[in-house]
Copies of this chain bind each other. A is one copy, B any other.
Amino acid sequence: MAMKTKLSLAIFLFFLLALLCSNLAIAIGREETDPELKTCIHQCKQQRQYDEEDKGICMDKCEDYHRMKQEREKRQHQHQREHEHQHEREHEHEEDENPYVFEDRDFETKIDTDDGRVMALNMFDQKSKLLRNFENYGLTILEAKGHAFVSPHHFDSEVIFFNVKGRGIIGLVMEDKTERFNLEAGDIMRVPAGTPMYLVNRDENEKLFVAALHMPPSSASAPVNLEAFFGPAGRDPESVLTAFSSKVLQAAFKSPKGKLESFLDEQNKGRIFKIQKEDLSGLAPKKSIWPFGGQFKNPFNIFSNNPAFSNQFGSLFEVGPSEITSGLDGLNLMLTFANITKGSMSTIYYNTNANKIALVIDGEGEFEMACPHMSSSSSHSKQRRSSSTSYQKINARLRPGTVFVVPAGHPFVTIASKNNNLKIVCFEVNAQRNKKLAFAGKNNIVSALDKTAKKLAFDKSAEKVDEIFKRDEEFFFPYDVEDESKEEHGRADE
């Protein structure tokens, strides 16, 4: 009996400790009331058709989902760490640790229908300290099949569209009428924040690809929201109007209870759907009598002006930020389009002011960038911290859909593969007063040093320095190097 007591005591102590430790876990896990959880609970309360019991069930589901999500995140963390070691040795996920490059898997699918989809990349969601320059920007990419129509919607950000490929129509709504414009490949169209709009692929077969940069309106400094507000449309997916109570809808639209809801209910084609040829002709833009059009500036084609640089190895087209007719004035933004001939490369250069967001639209290639290596000192330490700046090599393979970012001041190169031209469109933000300064090529910053400085910097005669750095080609060069694939492990360059 005494022994039973001791066993009971031991078991009791065990449970006490287990309780203590799990309370600890609970206390840590519940550190913050997750805003998502708050919203989910709030949403449950809004459901009119639920009685109190249903609301309780709904809220419990919120809690369960929340708990599951947290556990999933923890598991993913552990898996990720295991994967990182394993795959690095198998060099399959090379870019996993590269915060400057984004692939398909980094994009979020906002819309996905049979006739088209929209992918989004919000720079604010990227946690790395290194990307602070980019945090108020976002990219969305629309892919629309033949004759696909994107239902009217608006964004709360400024949107700058670039027609990558295909032939489209964009309709923009003013308070009392709609203006429509044809979009050709290379067209840039600025849409002011909040403007209701729709898009159509006016080709029957060829896909329409449009890339858009989103930035905060009126010089605000805040992250962009990449969710569109769809006005019309139905209940699945929802129209923004369904967020309002039945009474508000009745009163706002002078319609009996439920009439607007049934009206909206009947549209069930989704947000992107194929339309008939007859409807397409109804959407053709009117010829504008006045060259200045209506409220909105016409699309501006990036290939209208002469390229900034062009030779047999590549060409670079630029628009803005001071190009008045482009509509980009006041946005502190420049768009560039680089077409690097196969087997060629851009020079090693950097932007003095602009931060570059680049989207590869065709071909394959390589990207290399120099980044100052992060110091290893802790800011908590009160001793003098020391670091010797070295430069980290950032590199990645490029393929259509790859997005990479280059902060101001950072030198980089892009190289086209042997087989295809490499085409990249770039949104360069903070572009005012920007200059592109190169280390190699006709006007390079080393050759521009005065004679004495050259000699001192390299510890060689100025002539020897010029021998290395002087060259005739400007900005684009042939990339002709011996194939060394047998010597290389871990990464094949070509």
Q: List 17 A-B contacts (CB under 8 A).
A: A21-B21, A38-B97, A38-B99, A126-B379, A135-B222, A178-B448, A196-B437, A217-B408, A217-B430, A218-B353, A225-B407, A225-B409, A230-B389, A231-B457, A247-B484, A263-B464, A264-B458
A433 with B196: CB separation less than 8 A: no
**Closest 4 pairs (CB-CB, A-B):** A156-B409, A194-B352, A282-B452, A243-B370
CA distance A473 to B355 in the complex (A): 48
For A264, the chain B residues whose CB sits under 8 A away are 458
B46 touches A218 (CB 8 A): no
In the complex the two chains form, what is the Cα distance from A196 to B432 in whole Å? 18
> Known contacts being A97-B38, A194-B352, is A108 close to B437, with CB within 8 Å?
no
Please indicate the chain B residues that have their CB under 8 angstroms from the CB of A481 in the complex.
Answer: 247, 250-251, 257
B176 touches A384 (CB 8 A): no
If A348-B248, A372-B229 touch, does A243 touch B192 (CB 8 Å cutoff)? no
Residue from the list B177, B217, B231, B437 in contact with A194, Cβ < 8 A: B437
Stretch in A10-18, A181-189, A201-209, A299-307 with 4+ CB within 8 Å of B: A10-18
Q: Across the interface, do A228 and B173 meet the contact criterion of CB distance under 8 Å?
A: no
CB–CB A381/B10 < 8 A: no
A407 to B192 alpha-carbon distance, docked (Å): 16
Residues of B within 8 A of A260 (CB): 468
CA distance A415 to B245 in the complex (A): 12
User: In whole Å, how far is A473's beta carbon from the nearest beta carbon of chain B?
Assistant: 9
Nearest CB in chain B: distance from A11 CB, A = 8
Inside 8 A of A132's CB, which chain B residues have their CB? Answer: 222-223
Among A111-140, those with CB < 8 Å from B are 111-112, 125-130, 132-133, 135
